Structure formats: structure tokens, C-alpha cells
Amino acid sequence: MSFDHALPVIFMALMGVAMLTYVVLDGYDLGVGLLLPRATDAQKDTMVASIGPFWDANETWLVLGAGILLIAFPKAHGVVLGALYLPVAVMLIGLTLRGVAFDFRVKARDHHKPLWNRAFFAGSGLAAMAQGWMLGHYITGLNSGWQYQLFAATIALALPAAYVLLGAGWLIMKTEGELQAHAVKWAKIAWLPVVVGMGLISIATPWVSDTVRERWFSMPAFIALLPIPLISIAALVLLRFSLNWKRVLGPQCWLPFVLTVSVFLLGFFGLAYSLYPFVVMDKMTLWQAASAPSSLKVILVGTVITVPAIAGYTVFAYRVFWGKAGELKYA
């Protein structure tokens, strides 16, 4: 494969990594937002403090992924956003509502604070459900029909549950005392909907996509892919058992979060295998959607500078603000 021919693959990989990083990093703070109504007022402040230094940087990865789609695959960008303009708008409204609520709740008077807490929860829910809806339609090639709408609706309900599980794992890792114990209970509640949702989606995906069905169940691909569901099941079972261990409230507080992230990673690998080499399933390949090689080479120069910078300040932020979260205070 020549370098020019490999360029679309490179950009598709970069876009995939950016979107995966966004889903994992912004997923846990969306999950924390969805858990906010279950907490006391004091716990709400600690929960917001646990994501405060990170959430802006987390959303940068969404901008990076969308930017790569726009400049590297402009034909696909038009098709995807043209078909998904409404859920994209809902997601942006949700993310904007979260941002406004996050900043206003810490300055609001006590009697206004519940309003901004509800706004933060609503924005998190809108963003999470819109992302699930978009993912469902993207997997099925943006097709229309009741079965595709039902599939997208299933993911729109399952993804927020997965974010809640991820957010609960984050709180187990980042908090102490009563809030940490509550986070363990919240994770236990979220675990079953996530398992059921993943099971239904795994069954439905080959039903709504002939391409996926052929790739999953043809030999020897079936044997090669078998470790993904088996390891995912093992990780989910271990996650559930870990929530009953006393050490998860102490030195192994990181385990539920890491196990949940591993399930996301395995799902990403399965999705990447199912989609390749399409940018839009069954409609447009990488090479059909990509910009000219000369343009991609110029874009690659900027990407080589931008991506390490984004990764660098993300790692720096997590390193500086690592440790247990405390009470949210502003000088």
C-alpha cells in the first residue's frame, strides 16, 4: 500500500481514536451528571468538583473527531451531518446546557442552585441520548425504516446507562466515605441495564445490517472475533463481583472504572472491524470520501502538531488534579 493510499486509513484511525477518547472521558462526566439527582446537596458539590478540572478538556476530543471528519472526509461529513442534523443539534443543546449550568450553579444563590442542578442533569441526558441515537443510525448506514429507528432508540437508552456505570466507577475512584458507598450502589443498579442493553444490541446489529452479519459469522472471522464478546462478558462479570468487595472502597477503587473502560474499548474494536473500510456503512469507503492526497498531506502536518498537544494537556490536567475530590470551592 502506497503512502497516498494509506493516508485515508491513517485519518480514519485518528478519528476513531479521538471519538473513543471522547466517549470514555466525557462519558464518565456525562454519567456523573445523570447521577446528580440521586445525591444530597453536599454530595452534588463533591461530584461536580470531581469532574470540574477535566470536562472542558474532555470535550476537545469531540471537536477533534468532528474536525477530522470535516477536513479529511468532506463527502462523508456532508452525508452524515445531513442525515443526523437534528440529533446533532440536540446534542449541542445538551452540551451547551451542561456548560452553562456547570458555571452558574457554583455562583448561584442557594434557592437557585436546584434549578442549575436540574439543568446539568437535563443537559447530560440530552447529550447522552442524542449520541446513542446517532451511533445507532450510523452503524446501520443512515437507513430509514422502523427497524432502524428501533435499533437507534435501543442504543439511545443503553448508552446513557453505560455512561452512568462509567460515572459511578469514576466516583468510586475519586471520592470517599458516604458518597463513595453510594456510588457503589449506583453502579450495581446501572450494571443490569447495561448488560441487557449490550445483549439486545449485539443480537440486533447483525439483524439490521447484512454486512455486519456476514463479517461476524463468516469463518474464520467468527473465531478471530470470539475473544471480544468473551472478554467483554468476563469483564462485566468481574465488574459486578468487584462491587461487593470491601477493597473497592479502598486500594482497589480504580477497578470498576478500569473494567468499564475495557468494555468500551472492546466495543470500539468490534465496531471498527464491522465498519472498515466504510466511512458511511455500505455507502462510502474511506477512499471515496477522502480529500485529495495532496490535501491530506498538508492536513497531516497540522494533525501531527495538534493531536500530541491535545493529548499532552489532557495528560497534564489529569496528572495535576489526580487524587480524591473534595468540596467544591471558589475563592
Lowest mean pLDDT among 219-233, 298-312, 314-328: 314-328
> And the C-alpha cell for 59?
470535550
Integer CA distances (angstroms), 164 to 31, 159, 167, in order: 4, 9, 5
**Amino acid 103: pLDDT:** 81
Determine if the peptide bond prior to 277 is cis (ω within 30°). Answer: yes
Averaged pLDDT for residues 252-270: 94
- Whether residue 102 is contained in a domain is answered as yes
Range(s) of the domain holding residue 185 = 3-320
- Whether residue 235 is contained in a domain is answered as yes
Mean pLDDT of the chain, nearest integer? 90
Residue pair 149/247 in contact by the 8 Å Cβ criterion: no
pLDDT above 70 coverage of the chain, percent: 98
- Whether residue 291 is contained in a domain is answered as yes
Q: What is the value of pTM for the model shown?
A: 0.93
- Whether residue 327 is contained in a domain is answered as no
**Amino acid 222: pLDDT:** 84
Q: How confident is the model at residue 328 (pLDDT cuts 50, 70, 90)?
A: low
**Amino acid 331: pLDDT:** 45
Flag whether pLDDT at 42 surpasses 60.
Answer: yes
- 211-225 tens-digit pLDDT: 888 888 888 878 888
Count of domains for the chain: 1
> And the C-alpha cell for 292?
485529495
Averaged pLDDT for residues 111-116: 84
Which residue has better confidence, 222 or 36? 36
- 158-171 tens-digit pLDDT: 999 999 999 999 99
- Whether residue 119 is contained in a domain is answered as yes
Q: Give the C-alpha separation, 51 to 252, whole Å.
A: 20
Q: How confident is the model at residue 326 (pLDDT cuts 50, 70, 90)?
A: low
Which residue has better confidence, 161 or 2? 161
- Whether residue 326 is contained in a domain is answered as no
Q: How confident is the model at residue 327 (pLDDT cuts 50, 70, 90)?
A: low
Q: How confident is the model at residue 330 (pLDDT cuts 50, 70, 90)?
A: very low
- 47-89 tens-digit pLDDT: 998 998 888 788 889 999 999 999 999 999 889 988 899 999 9
Flag whether pLDDT at 209 surpasses 90.
Answer: no
Instruction: Output the 3-class SS for the chain.
Output: CCHHHHHHHHHHHHHHHHHHHHHHHHHHHHHHHHHHHHCCHHHHHHHHHHHCCCHHHHHHHHHHHHHHHHHHCHHHHHHHHHHCHHHHHHHHHHHHHHHHHHHHHCCCCCCCHHHHHHHHHHHHHHHHHHHHHHHHHHHCCCCCCHHHHHHHHHHHHHHHHHHHHHHHHHHHHHCCHHHHHHHHHHHHHHHHHHHHHHHHHHHHHHHHCHHHHHHHHCCCHHHHHCHHHHHHHHHHHHHHHHCCCHHHHCCCCCHHHHHHHHHHHHHHHHHHHHHCCEEECCCEEHHHHCCCHHHHHHHHHHHHHHHHHHHHHHHHHHHHCCCCCCCCCCC
Place of cell 465498519: 275
Distance of CA 311 to the CA centre of its chain: 17
- Whether residue 328 is contained in a domain is answered as no
Averaged pLDDT for residues 177-187: 95
- CATH number reported for the structural domain that contains residue 313 in this entry: 1.20.1630
- Whether residue 330 is contained in a domain is answered as no
- For residue 323, the tally of other CB atoms under 10 A from its CB is 7
